[in-house]
């Protein structure tokens, strides 16, 4: 390997090894995982701008605020279907002949199944649920006429149970949801000038814990609070290419990799961000509902195992992922049409930029690539109805300049 090719190799991998990140171990998670763990599997909640912690009166309470399981004394079933359409293809140009091209595509999924029932003469409520979240894209990156293409799909699935207990003559409730959580990353190299293949494997199975509380101040005001503690996953990454990875990995100072023949195996872990929510809902009449919520998300947890090649004096401290505050607002208006109750909803929330950004002296290309982007503003709309107080259907649209998302939730109670 001549010196020129070696220099290009190090630069190429330091800038492009994870599609849009610097982690040298193909950590596609740096780009995508901030979007996991925040999915709300309820069309009603999405129609209200996800300001739902102080309401949580459907089976999505397992994910949003487990205390809400105590708000209905019937046996219930729920299904949520989600369709997400990213504004498919876009490109970004950076200095020094660098081009990023993304195609996030569409995503249709059955994202949530749940069941709940009262026990002990309605002194407690239990639930079982399955919740799946996924995200990914196809990515093309060109650096000095060298092109690399990848396809990434990240999937997280929860198998869980929830329990809630009413307190103070049902003026309050507390809840807990515990889930067995599995993470899977499918990363394919469609076109790479040096690597033959990359495999993520042996993901550890972990536990997610969600806590919640509700307090009804009076018939009009309710306060809700919740905390989501997401897990840290351990896994292994294998790079298959003769003679290349030992040198590149050595430049990053890694000491958790082994080299066998043409395969380099590294031990990795990723910490998903914890989040905390506080909400207030106000129902001045039977027809109107107003709700507001603040959510704090510890995206900085993703930096726990971050590392990069030491070029141009760069180090882990040259980059950061900031924690974020989200503000959510929503309102609902109920009316009767042809004997059926109809609920109309509208909401808004902001999504602060949560990607990797520069926090120190770095190469000019990375100053551009990892510059902080603007926040995303979401506008939501929803409609719902129920039949014979047993069967419910809710629909929601979440619109932003980045994507639009449709949600359909059906429920049955008896």
Local structure of 162: helix, strand or coil:
strand
Strands (E), 305-399: 319-320, 324-337, 340-351, 357-358, 376-387, 391-399
Q: What is the mean pLDDT of residues 100-110?
A: 67
Q: What is the pLDDT of residues 1-48, one digit of tens each?
A: 444 343 333 333 333 333 333 333 334 444 555 566 678 999 999 999
10 Å Cβ neighbour count for 214?
32
Cα(289)–Cα(282) distance, integer angstroms: 6
DSSP state of 401: S
The percentage of residues in the chain with a pLDDT greater than 90, rounded to a whole number, is 44
Q: What is the pTM of this model?
A: 0.83
**What is the pLDDT at residue 145?**
63
Q: How distant is the alpha carbon of residue 271 from its chain centre?
A: 12
Local structure of 264: helix, strand or coil:
strand
| DSSP notation for 177-203 | EEEEEEEEEEEEEEE-SS--EEEEE-P
Please report, for residues 26, 35, 152, the alpha-carbon distance to residue 198 in angstroms, rounded to integers and kept in the order given.
8, 23, 11
10 Å Cβ neighbour count for 353?
16
Q: What is the pLDDT of residues 60-80, one digit of tens each?
A: 999 999 999 999 889 999 999
DSSP state of 412: E
Q: What is the pLDDT of residues 111-132, one digit of tens each?
A: 999 999 999 999 999 999 999 9
Q: Tokens 């190299």 sit at which residue?
A: 189
**What is the pLDDT at residue 4?**
39
Q: What is the mean pLDDT of residues 166-186?
A: 93
Cα(377)–Cα(325) distance, integer angstroms: 13
Based on C-alpha coordinates, what's the Rg of the chain? Answer: 23
Instruction: Judge whether residue 349 has pLDDT over 90.
Output: yes
Instruction: Judge whether residue 109 has pLDDT over 90.
Output: no
Q: What is the pLDDT of residues 275-310, one digit of tens each?
A: 999 999 999 999 999 999 999 999 888 777 766 654
Q: Which domains does the chain show, CATH number per domain? A: 3-413 (2.40.160.60)
Q: What is the pLDDT of residues 219-268, one digit of tens each?
A: 999 999 999 999 988 888 777 765 555 555 555 555 577 777 777 777 87
Q: How distant is the alpha carbon of residue 293 from its chain centre?
A: 18
Sorting pLDDT into bands at 50, 70 and 90, what band is 365? low
Cα(54)–Cα(214) distance, integer angstroms: 7
Please report, for residues 115, 232, 290, 341, 373, the alpha-carbon distance to residue 161 in angstroms, rounded to integers and kept in the order given.
9, 20, 30, 31, 38
Residue 132 has, within 13 A of its CA and on its CB side, a CA count of 16
**What is the pLDDT at residue 376?**
86
Contact 91, 317 (CB under 8 A): no
Among the listed residues 63, 31, 32, the one whose alpha carbon sits nearest the alpha carbon of residue 135? 32
Q: Which of 23-37, 182-196, 319-333 has the lowest mean pLDDT?
A: 23-37
Cα(341)–Cα(112) distance, integer angstroms: 25
10 Å Cβ neighbour count for 121?
6
Among the listed residues 153, 161, 158, 162, the one whose alpha carbon sits nearest the alpha carbon of residue 182? 158
Q: Is 224 buried (19+), middle (13-18) or exposed (0-12) by CB count in 10 A?
A: buried
**What is the pLDDT at residue 233?**
86
**What is the pLDDT at residue 45?**
97
């Amino acid at each position: 390997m001549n010196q020129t090719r070696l220099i290009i190799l190090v630069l190429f991998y330091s800038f492009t090894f994870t599609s849009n990140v610097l982690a040298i171990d193909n950590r596609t998670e740096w780009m995508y995982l901030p979007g996991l763990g925040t999915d709300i599997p309820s069309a009603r909640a999405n129609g209200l701008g996800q300001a739902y912690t102080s309401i949580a009166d459907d089976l999505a309470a397992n994910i949003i605020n487990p205390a809400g399981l105590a708000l209905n004394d019937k046996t219930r079933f729920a299904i949520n279907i989600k369709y997400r359409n990213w504004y498919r293809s876009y490109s970004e140009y950076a200095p020094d002949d660098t081009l990023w091209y993304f195609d996030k595509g569409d995503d249709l999924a059955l994202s949530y199944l749940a069941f709940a029932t009262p026990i002990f003469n309605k002194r407690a409520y239990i639930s079982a649920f399955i919740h799946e979240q996924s995200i990914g894209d196809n990515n093309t990156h060109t650096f000095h006429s060298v092109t690399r293409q990848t396809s990434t799909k990240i999937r997280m699935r929860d198998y869980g149970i929830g329990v809630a207990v009413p307190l103070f003559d049902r003026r309050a409730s507390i809840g807990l949801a515990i889930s067995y959580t599995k993470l899977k990353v499918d990363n394919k190299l469609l076109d790479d000038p040096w690597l033959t293949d990359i495999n993520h494997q042996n993901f550890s199975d972990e536990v997610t814990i969600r806590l919640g509380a509700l307090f009804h101040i009076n018939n009009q005001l309710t306060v809700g609070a919740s905390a989501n503690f997401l897990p840290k996953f351990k896994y292994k990454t294998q790079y298959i290419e003769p003679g290349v990875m030992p040198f590149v990995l050595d430049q990053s100072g890694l000491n958790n990799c082994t080299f066998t023949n043409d395969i380099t195996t590294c031990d990795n872990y990723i910490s998903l961000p914890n989040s905390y929510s506080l909400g207030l809902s106000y129902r001045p009449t039977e027809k109107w509902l107003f709700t507001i919520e603040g959510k704090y998300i510890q995206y900085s947890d993703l930096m726990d195992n971050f590392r990069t090649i030491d070029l141009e004096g760069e180090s882990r401290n040259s980059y950061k992922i900031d924690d974020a505050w989200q503000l959510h607002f929503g309102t609902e208006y109920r009316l009767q049409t042809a004997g059926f109750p109809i609920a109309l909803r509208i909401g808004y929330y902001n999504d602060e930029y949560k990607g990797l950004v520069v926090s120190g002296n770095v190469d000019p290309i990375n100053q551009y690539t990892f510059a902080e982007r603007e926040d995303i503003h979401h506008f939501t709309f929803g409609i719902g109805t129920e039949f014979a107080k047993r069967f419910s259907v809710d629909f929601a649209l979440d619109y932003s300049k980045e994507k639009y998302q449709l949600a359909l939730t059906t429920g049955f109670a008896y």
